[in-house]
Amino acid sequence: MDVAGALYFGGENIYVSQNSSLMVDVLKDGFSDYSGNIYNDKKVEVFEVSSRNFSKITDRKFDLIIISLSDSFHPVSAGAYSLNENYLYTVESISDLMAILKEDGVLAVTRWVQFPPSENLKALSTLYESLDYLQIGKIPKKVFAYRSWSTCTTLFKKDGFAENEINSLKRK
């Protein structure tokens, strides 16, 4: 959905890190007609590595990095993460992604809303710890969180959100 959205809204250079070669094959070949052929679009470049590894091998800087909501709600709410840790949500990984943002770049992390809200708080605290890790400093206007009925998205902007951006985000 993120790639389709980026194409729809005019993204010119879209980089996808997908560590599942099966998923890449399915979206490039097997079900390309059903997916809008997004992985074969000339504006999309797919890397068969995890996001964490991609952040280590790229020399590019990015306007927007999206950590997609790729896990289903039920394993999250059932505590399945205790059986299968995802290293994408660690301080080191988030810090690596922050480091490859342009100065005005944004990192977006979306998690399921739970009760109690452990995933959302974990994402927020990881972002704040990453600020310390990178010695960026804890400036409140760098982080903005919002929620829908079932998800919560936390945004980090490297150079901080301007007042008009914060007001615009609050209206959404």
pLDDT band at 15 (very low <50, low <70, confident <90, very high): very high
Tens digit of each residue's pLDDT (9 = 90 or more) over 109-154: 998 888 777 787 888 888 888 988 888 776 678 889 888 888 889 9
Tens digit of each residue's pLDDT (9 = 90 or more) over 43-73: 999 999 988 899 999 999 999 999 988 665 5
Q: Does the structure show a pLDDT above 60 at 41? A: yes
Pairing of strands 101-112, 62-67: parallel
pLDDT attached to residue 47: 94
Tens digit of each residue's pLDDT (9 = 90 or more) over 68-114: 886 655 555 555 555 556 678 889 999 999 999 999 999 999 988 88
Supply the angle between the helices 118-133 and 91-99 in degrees, to the nearest 10: 60
Q: Which two tokens stand for residue 146?
A: 């919002």
Q: How far is 2 from 65, CA to CA, in rounded Å?
A: 10
Measured CA distances, 85 to 2, 95, 122 (Å): 23, 18, 13
pLDDT attached to residue 141: 86
pLDDT attached to residue 17: 92
- Choose the weakest-confidence range: 5-14, 16-25, 84-93, 146-155: 84-93
C-beta of residue 130 within 8 angstroms of C-beta of residue 95? yes
Reported as type and span, the H/E element at residue 25 is helix 21-25
